[in-house]
Amino acid sequence: MSDFVKIAIDAMGGDNSPKKVIDGLIHNHQKNKKIFFKIFGNRKEIEILINGNIDNNNFEIVHTENFILSTDTPLEAAKRGKDTSMWLAIESVKKRETDIIISAGNTGALLVIAKLNLKMIENIDKPALSALWPNKSGMSVVLDLGANIECSSKNLFDFSIMGASLYTSLYPDKKPNIGLLNIGSEELKGNETIKETFKILNEKKTSNYNFAGYIEGNQIMDGDVNVIISDGFTGNIALKTAEGTANFIVKELKKSMTNSILGKVSSFLNYSNLKKFKERLDPRLYNGAIFLGLDSPVVKSHGGTDFVGFSNSLDVCNKIVKGNLIEKIKLNI
C-alpha cells in the first residue's frame, strides 16, 4: 500500500454526483490499480454505485450526509460545517492521510475551504488556479485562471515558478518555455506590472525553465510556449474564449456535415479524420484545474464533466503526486 497514490475524493460535488464521480473512479481503476481512493460522501449511495467494481483494498468510504451546494457562496459553504464531504476530504490531506484532494464541486468554496485548512508554501503570497490547454505539439500549463483578479509582479513571478514546477511534474523529460500573456510582443507593450514581471523574469537565470518573453492570445495554441502566465482576470477570459471557440467550431462543423447529402457523404469519407479532430478538442481530455501555492495539492474537476472527464482528472492527480509537485515548488521558490 505504501507505493499507492492516495487520493481524497469529494464524491458529492458537481453535476450528477455521486454517480459521475464513482463511475469515474471505476473507469480509472480499470486502467490503474495503484491508486487508493478515500471517498467522502453518503455511504449508502456510494456502495450501491461501486457494486464490487473497485477492489476492496483500493478504496475506503468516510460517511457524511452533508455536502456543499453549487449555489453556496464561499462564506455559506464555510458555514455549512466541517462535516461536509469537501471539508473532510481537504482535511484528510491536511492530516497527511491522503496525498491529494479532488472535487468537482463549487470552485469558490473549494478555494476558500482549502485556504482555511492548508498553509501557503513559504514565500508565496497568493495561490493560483492553473489548467492544461492543448497546443499544436502537446500541452501547455496556463495560470492564473481566476483565483486572483489583481496581481503584483511578485505574484506573477511566483506563478511562473509554480507553473514550471507543475509542467515538469507532469512532463519530467521536458524543460518548459515560459511566456507572459500580453497585448503585444514588444517590450514597451502592456501595463507596469507586466513590464516589471518581464524585467524580473528576463534577469533571473534558472535551469528550471526558459523565459520566452511576451505571448499574445493568438499564439497560445502554437506550442512554442509551455507555461503561460497571466493575472486571473485576463486568464479566465482567455480560457472561456478558447472553450467557446472550440465548442463553436465543433458544432458548426457537425452542422455543415449533416445539412446536405454532399456533406453526409463527405463526413462518411472523412470519418476517421473528423473523429481525430473532435477528440483533439474534447474538453474531457484537459479536465482538472490545479490550485497552486498551497502546501498540499488541490485539484478541481469541471462540475459539468462526465465520468470520463473525471477519470482523466484522476490521471492528473496521479502524475502530480508521482512528480513531487509540492517539493519542486518549495525547492524552486
Q: In what order do the strands lie in the sheet with 298-300?
A: 59-63, 35-41, 5-10, 100-103, 298-300, 289-292, 128-135, 138-143, 227-229, 177-181, 210-215
271 pLDDT higher than 60: no
Q: What is the DSSP letter of 102?
A: E
| Cis peptide leading into residue 172 (ω within 30°) | no
Tell me whether strands 128-135 and 138-143 are parallel, antiparallel or unpaired: antiparallel
Chain Cα centroid distance, residue 266: 36
CA dihedral 310, 312, 316, 319 (to 10 degrees): 130
pTM for this entry: 0.86
- The CA-to-CA distance between both ends of the chain, in Å, stands at 32
245 pLDDT higher than 90: no
* 260-282 average pLDDT score: 60
User: What pLDDT shows up at residue 300?
Assistant: 93
The candidate with the shortest Cα–Cα distance to 170, out of 292, 34, 303, 33, is 292
276 pLDDT higher than 60: yes
Packing angle between helix 232-258 and helix 261-269, nearest 10 degrees?
Answer: 110
CA dihedral sign, ordered 322, 325, 330, 333: positive
Q: What is the DSSP letter of 182?
A: -
User: What pLDDT shows up at residue 333?
Assistant: 76
> How far apart are alpha carbons 11 and 97 in whole angstroms?
17
Average pLDDT along the chain: 88
Paired with 36 in beta bridges are: 6
Q: What percent of the chain has pLDDT over 90?
A: 57
* 256-280 average pLDDT score: 61
Domains of the chain: 1-123+293-333 (3.40.718.10), 125-287 (3.40.718.10)
User: What pLDDT shows up at residue 190?
Assistant: 79
> How far apart are alpha carbons 79 and 163 in whole angstroms?
32
User: What pLDDT shows up at residue 206?
Assistant: 80
274 pLDDT higher than 60: no
> How far apart are alpha carbons 65 and 193 in whole angstroms?
46
| Residue 130 contacts residue 166 (beta carbons within 8 Å) | yes
> How far apart are alpha carbons 291 and 300 in whole angstroms?
8
> How far apart are alpha carbons 74 and 62 in whole angstroms?
23
- Give the residue carrying C-alpha cell 454532399: 262
Higher pLDDT, 20 or 81: 20
In tens, the pLDDT along 88-115 reads 999 999 999 999 999 999 988 999 999 9
| Residue 211 contacts residue 201 (beta carbons within 8 Å) | yes
User: What pLDDT shows up at residue 297?
Assistant: 93
> How far apart are alpha carbons 234 and 46 in whole angstroms?
39
User: What pLDDT shows up at residue 61?
Assistant: 97
In tens, the pLDDT along 12-33 reads 998 899 999 999 999 999 999 9
* 276-304 average pLDDT score: 79
248: exposed, middle or buried (Cβ count in 10 Å: 0-12, 13-18, 19+): exposed
Name residue 200's amino acid: I
In tens, the pLDDT along 131-156 reads 888 888 888 999 988 888 899 999 99
